[in-house]
Chains A and B, each alone.
Chain A
Amino acid sequence: MSTYGTDARPRMGFFTDTSLCIGCKACEVACKEWNRVPESPQGFSGHSYDNTLDLGANTWRHVAFVEQRKELGLDGGDLLGSLTLDHLVADTGLQTYQDGEDVRWLMASDVCKHCTHAACLEVCPTGALFRTEFDTVVVQQDICNGCGYCVPACPFGVLDQREGDGRVWKCTLCYDRLRDDKEPACAQACPTNSIQFGELGDLRDRAQQRLEQLADAGAASAQLYLADDEDGIGGAGAFFLLLDEPEVYGLPPDPVDTVRDIGSIWAAAGAAAVGLGVAVAAAFVGRKR
């Protein structure tokens, strides 16, 4: 963050602890209200309680609902049994496991990850996408010309072009609120503290403790997602505690910043260009007719 010099601020982010999510969608509503995001009617999906379906130009928070038919207990095994489940609920405030009907219900509020190595920002030809003093990634709407390159570049499918507007929109991590030392609207609205906002370092410590607490209680499939710098995007400003594999929530298990390969991509394009030149020259070698 040397760009900002003395104006640089600590890196801010979200820790979304999906084990505390009750699927109320207050985050979705608060985000739309504060950021004046247009409506996104997508009809009735039939996918549990999820009619938002994905992140996009008009959905900057998206609550996923996963219904899993599993043995009551944990992770499909009856090793620990429902006693452990009661223990989990009592001791950790775990909301996600639903009692009865043998259904395990996972809920998770997804959001832009504000990647350390953000492909959207790197491929943006206009500089509309930029990194703020909080180390978050924001689209400047007065610069974006709707080229759409960031849309398929994002390994999480976060960005999209807004219909009738032509520009690309996404979560700003409430840049305006951050500048006024306020927390983002979704985090403020979350009634269970599933969405936690703060300095990234603090959030990571807190998340590690939470993971250990859940693991001790028997939630073996609990996992932190994008919580350190060792992944394909160099870590994220918005990371998650998940109770199953990422792809179950629609998240990629090994997201990679496509620009990591830009060296070999340019090498291939350069070699191909040279090859084209050689072919043109070769066409003039030999017979005239």
Chain B
Amino acid sequence: MSDEDVRSYYGRPVVKPPVWKPEIPWYLFTGGLGGGSAALAYAAGRSGNDVLARRAWLAAMAGVGASPLLLISDLGYPSRFLNMLRMFKVTSPMSVGSWVLVGAGATTSVAAAHALTGLLPRSARVARPAAALLGLPLSTYTGALLANTAVPIWHEARHSLPVVFAAGAAASAGAAATMLTPARHAAPARRLALMGSLVELGGVQAMEHRLGDLADPYHGPDVELFTRGARLLTATGALLIAGAARRSRAAAVAGGALVLAGALAERWSVFKSGFGSAGDPKHTVGPQRARIRGGRTRGASRRIEAAA
């Protein structure tokens, strides 16, 4: 932080770091993969590309299927996971997301079952568009979830995080389908992977720029590897897909795998940055003091101004 005169209590954190375990960055990835793939699968089906659609439904099922397992495993009291559905609260992205995930899980299961076995044709006709529609918020609400905390690097990036996660979802869905689909049916998947990769790369750059000094934890000792790795993997994978995936199956598989790894590393980078951000009182107190000094808020303290 540029403001060196930020005071603190023995340098101890003001806000608590998250208690979330590695399941959560994995979920940020699988949710995006599943949600993005459902949208891709539905669009492929509508355009008559059934070869692509079938594989994208498979990827959607994998992503959406793994998600609840990861989330339940992360709970401090897993046997009470159904308590997530006691109510619906718009002030809690986790509550909204739980319902979205339930809906996406049910509809994607039906759509994928039909795509693979031909069973449930009439249910699938309803389930497919519903899964695609629910897949979109499933990919982005996690950005809202992280942003809706007191962790400075997340809250102050509240308008960027959903965009980064949406781009990561597009890149993941496109990459997975590029890997699974014969090249001549995979053109839309490649285009989606490239669009997603580009926006993801640009999005994180813009997010860091806007955060200014608050973005420092992205380059902290434990996080730098993921931050830089995400960019390298995504960029290399995207180049491979753009350059060679149309002709070479190996390039399609390698490029897709690299973009997927890049999207995963990006979620880890975002997740891990939250710990450094919450752990440093300068990041919490600095911007708050600046707000008060700049007259944008009165803060929470009231003194009696010296009369004379």
Q: A residues bordering B, Cβ < 8 Å? A: 45, 47, 50, 53-54, 56, 64, 66, 119, 122-128, 143-149, 151-161, 165-168, 211-212, 215, 220-228, 230-233, 242, 245-256, 258-259, 261-262, 264-266, 268-277, 279-284, 287-289
Q: Residue on B with the closest CB to A123?
A: B92
Contact A247-B7, Cβ < 8 Å, known A126-B84, A258-B149: yes
Q: B residues bordering A, Cβ < 8 Å? A: 6-10, 12-20, 35-36, 39-40, 43-44, 46-47, 49, 74-78, 80-81, 83-84, 86-87, 89-95, 98, 136-137, 139-141, 143-145, 147-151, 155, 158-163, 165-166, 169-170, 173-174, 184, 187-189, 191-192, 195-196, 199, 246, 274, 278, 281, 284-285, 288-289, 291-292, 297-304, 306
Which of A50, A128, A212, A245 has a CB less than 8 Å from the CB of B301?
Answer: A245
Question: Is A124 a contact of B12 with CB atoms below 8 Å?
Answer: no
Tell me, in angstroms, the Cα distance from A230 to B49 when the chains sit together: 58
Tell me, in angstroms, the Cα distance from A215 to B307 when the chains sit together: 10
Which of A152, A284, A288 has a CB less than 8 Å from the CB of B18?
Answer: A152
Which of B159, B199, B281 has a CB less than 8 Å from the CB of A264?
Answer: B159
Which of B12, B18, B147 has a CB less than 8 Å from the CB of A250?
Answer: B12
Contact A288-B187, Cβ < 8 Å, known A268-B163, A279-B170: yes
Tell me, in angstroms, the Cα distance from A250 to B166 when the chains sit together: 36
Contact A276-B169, Cβ < 8 Å, known A283-B191, A284-B47: yes
Contact A145-B300, Cβ < 8 Å, known A254-B288, A264-B158: no
Question: Is B246 a contact of A128 with CB atoms below 8 Å?
Answer: no
Q: How far is the CB of B42 from chain A (nearest CB, A)?
A: 8
Beyond the given pairs A155-B14, A274-B136, A276-B166, 17 more chain A to chain B contacts, judged by CB atoms under 8 angstroms and listed by A's residue number, are: A123-B91, A126-B86, A145-B78, A152-B278, A227-B302, A248-B7, A252-B284, A253-B288, A261-B148, A264-B159, A265-B158, A270-B140, A279-B195, A279-B196, A282-B191, A283-B191, A289-B246
Contact A261-B158, Cβ < 8 Å, known A125-B84, A277-B136: yes
| List of 3 A-B pairs having minimum Cβ-Cβ separation, nearest first | A146-B76, A166-B76, A250-B9
Q: How far is the CB of A155 from chain B (nearest CB, A)?
A: 4
Question: Is A283 a contact of B195 with CB atoms below 8 Å?
Answer: yes
Tell me, in angstroms, the Cα distance from A281 to B191 when the chains sit together: 11
Tell me, in angstroms, the Cα distance from A122 to B148 when the chains sit together: 10
Which of B94, B143, B145, B191 has a CB less than 8 Å from the CB of A272?
Answer: B143
Which of B76, B89, B141 has a CB less than 8 Å from the CB of A147?
Answer: B76
Tell me, in angstroms, the Cα distance from A227 to B302 when the chains sit together: 8
Q: Residue on B with the closest CB to A231?
A: B300
Contact A122-B89, Cβ < 8 Å, known A223-B301, A258-B155: yes
B77 CB contacts on chain A under 8 angstroms: 144-146, 166-167
Question: Is B144 a contact of A128 with CB atoms below 8 Å?
Answer: no
Question: Is A253 a contact of B76 with CB atoms below 8 Å?
Answer: no
Question: Is B14 a contact of A251 with CB atoms below 8 Å?
Answer: yes
A264 CB contacts on chain B under 8 angstroms: 158-159
